[in-house]
Amino acid sequence: MWKTLPGPLRARNWFSRDGMYYLLFFLVIALGLWAFAEIADEVLEGSSQAFDQWVLESLRTPGDLSDPLGPGWLEQSVRDITALGGTAILTLITLAAVGFLVLEHKPRTIAFLLLAVVGGLLLSLALKAGFARPRPDFLPHGQQVYTASFPSGHSMNAAIVYLTLAAILARAHRARVIKIYVLTTALVITALVGVSRVYLGVHWPTDVLAGWSAGAAWAMFCWLLIYHLQRRRMVEEEAGDTDTGSGPA
């Protein structure tokens, strides 16, 4: 019976290097979904309100909620950083990645990337519409906003786009130091975008935590899927795939 299952799902393969990667993927996805569910439950019950408000007030000048802590140049820098999670910037970055993959002659990877990014964006919008949480209204917003608050779209979409692109780029190189650098850069950018949303007062902290959790879970699901499709030769192979024992990153 075990021989009829796909290779990665056979019991004997769970203890191989390849099988351990699958287990790691599933674990991270499960942790992301669990974290999102826990945060969402706290938000719906109103248990997180005191914490959210305390964090936002701590980032404002005492006695003047319209003034974020720090000098003017810091606020401007944070505005620049938060743009890295905006739809326009993420679209440009995605299109640039598509252009790179066109030059690499990888049409199926392009299709996968677009489905991952667009699917994540639609999921973010659906979650916002479903929860319909109002934005923080007790202090001035440091940026114009148009959608609901939970989860943070900038945080979630940044995690989806940057982590998915990092996964694809990491698999294009054999050198472990390059893989680590690419993934670390994606994580740092995603973290900075989320923090910037709270600093500007356009999101509750739990919005950002939920966005990170959902975005990371979606990105890891996409990473797992493309890894599996590459192993089955359904998506163009990346560097190192000629060795069936190689890992996903």
Whether 166 and 182 have beta carbons less than 8 Å apart is answered as yes
Q: Which residues are identified as catalytic?
A: 154, 203
Look up residue 38 and give its amino acid: E
